[in-house]
Amino acid sequence: MTRIAEERGMTAEECLAGTGMPPAAVIDPNVTVTARQELTVVRNLLERFGDEPGLGVEAGRHYHLSLYGPWGLAMLASRTLRESVDVALRYVELAFAFGHLRFEETETEARLLLDDSEVPEDVRGFLAERVLTGAQLLGTELFSTGIPLRRLTFRHHEPADTTRHREIFGLEPEFGAADNELVFDAAYLDLPLPQANEWARSTCEQMCRDLLVRRHARTGVAGTVRDLLVRDPGRVPDQVEVAAELFMSPRTLSRRLHEEGTSFRALLDEVRRALSEELLDHTSMTTEQLAARLGYAEAASFIRAFRRWKGCTPQEYRSRQGRAPARVPQAV
């Protein structure tokens, strides 16, 4: 996207404004770009060039299997397109951060669908075009002749000019449809891929699994939620606020946390327990002040929770740590 911006006279610094990232970071393999940072870049780009038809298609043209490391190589080394699609969707979060991709098959058709209902509306069309264009070009790299499409639909409104769309997809897309979908003949699914290599595929799949394990340990949804719960020193956000920060619905947040073996309530409980001990050890806040800081409606609820955690009241805990109970200042 910074390259697209520079081609149009916008500097990389302007494109990255608000992300806290220097231009060198976009080509640094050790830098992790957050979803929020990427959305900021998309919005900066759209603010200047959003009237340009097919800008998302132009961004998607830069998708190449070689840029995706083991994820792309595992697809390339798969035996058939069916196996390649399976590998791609199994490790898709290594490549895509917005929306949910799924694959459906009938006797005659194969459909790749992008659910972008939880993507912010102002960037939805751009990202849908970018993802489906990228998927089409990845298919072209798997088969040197490409995969002819039967149908292509987008949920967003039709742009003023669809030349770019026709050049990439080979047909006129339908806009304002119910789904974002790319449809092709199911017969292509079982054709052998020209660069199939079982050893390379299995090795790259293992690398993908290792990458996901490390990523979840460092930046999984649960880790991000923990960070958001302690970010503001004055308050603890609720689930609706946290979900909004992550550009998803509370229901989706619950599902994602369940997939990681936890829940919002469990994470909130964990954060409250750690914060309560820290505040009792290092401040003179009253029980009422602590309860408010931890997001409890009343002190009694906090006291019950603390007794469950530690087997004693906050006052008793503080006494055992050798600190005198805090007193509420009296008005003069």
Question: What dotted CATH number matches 220-320?
Answer: 1.10.10.60
Kindly report, residue by residue over 61-82, the tens digit of the pLDDT: 988 887 788 888 999 999 999 9
* 270 CB-near residues (< 8 Å, 6+ apart): 226
Q: Which is it for strands 180-185 and 109-115: parallel, antiparallel or unpaired?
A: antiparallel
Percent of the chain with pLDDT over 90: 44
pLDDT of residue 217: 57
Q: What is the pLDDT of residue 257?
A: 86
Q: How many residues does the chain have?
A: 332
Q: Is the dihedral of CA 108, 112, 118, 122 positive or negative?
A: negative
In contact, 151 and 44? CB cutoff 8 Å: no
User: What is the residue extent of each domain of the chain?
Assistant: 1-49, 54-212, 220-320
Q: What is the identity of the amino acid at 113?
A: L
Q: Write out the DSSP string of 227-258.
A: HHHHHSTT----HHHHHHHTTS-HHHHHHHHH
Beta bridge pairs of residue 112: 103, 182
**pLDDT, tens digit, for every residue of 273-332?**
888 887 888 788 899 989 988 888 899 999 999 988 888 899 988 887 665 444 433 333
d(Cα 193, Cα 79) in Å, to the nearest integer? 6
pLDDT at res. 213:
67
Which tens digits make up the pLDDT trace of 15-29?
999 988 889 888 887
* Structure letter (DSSP) for residue 190: G
> Confidence band (pLDDT; 50, 70, 90) for 237?
confident
- pLDDT for 233 equals 58
Q: Positive or negative CA dihedral for 313, 314, 317, 323?
A: negative
Cα–Cα nearest to 114, from 102, 96, 105, 127 = 102
Distance CA 215, CA 212 (A): 5
H/E run at residue 96 = none
CA distance 184 to 169: 11
pLDDT tops 60 at residue 172: yes
Quote the CA–CA distance of 43 and 314 in Å, as a whole number. 47
